[in-house]
Amino acid sequence: MPLDHAEACGYCVLLAHVPGLLFALALFVAMLLRRIRLPFLARY
């Protein structure tokens, strides 16, 4: 359990935003890979 309020707020912010950031990053990487792979797959 965090000792002070600022520490608790920091943990809350991290817990609130990390899943969204990870999801956005995964979505970005997936779109990037699709954009890179689709032309190669279309050629063969």
Please tell me the predicted confidence (pLDDT) of residue 10: 79
Please tell me the predicted confidence (pLDDT) of residue 40: 67
What's the token pair of residue 5? 């309020």
Please tell me the predicted confidence (pLDDT) of residue 11: 79
User: Is-above-0.75 flag for pTM?
Assistant: no
Name which of 20, 3, 39 is nearest 11 in CA terms.
3
14, 20 contact by CB (below 8 A): no
Q: What is the pLDDT along the chain (44 residues), one digit of tens a residue?
A: 545 666 778 778 888 888 888 999 999 999 998 888 776 666 65
Give residue limits of the domains in the chain. 19-44
Compute CA distances 11 → 19, 23, 25, 35, 38, whole Å.
Answer: 13, 19, 20, 36, 40
Please tell me the predicted confidence (pLDDT) of residue 19: 87
Please tell me the predicted confidence (pLDDT) of residue 41: 67
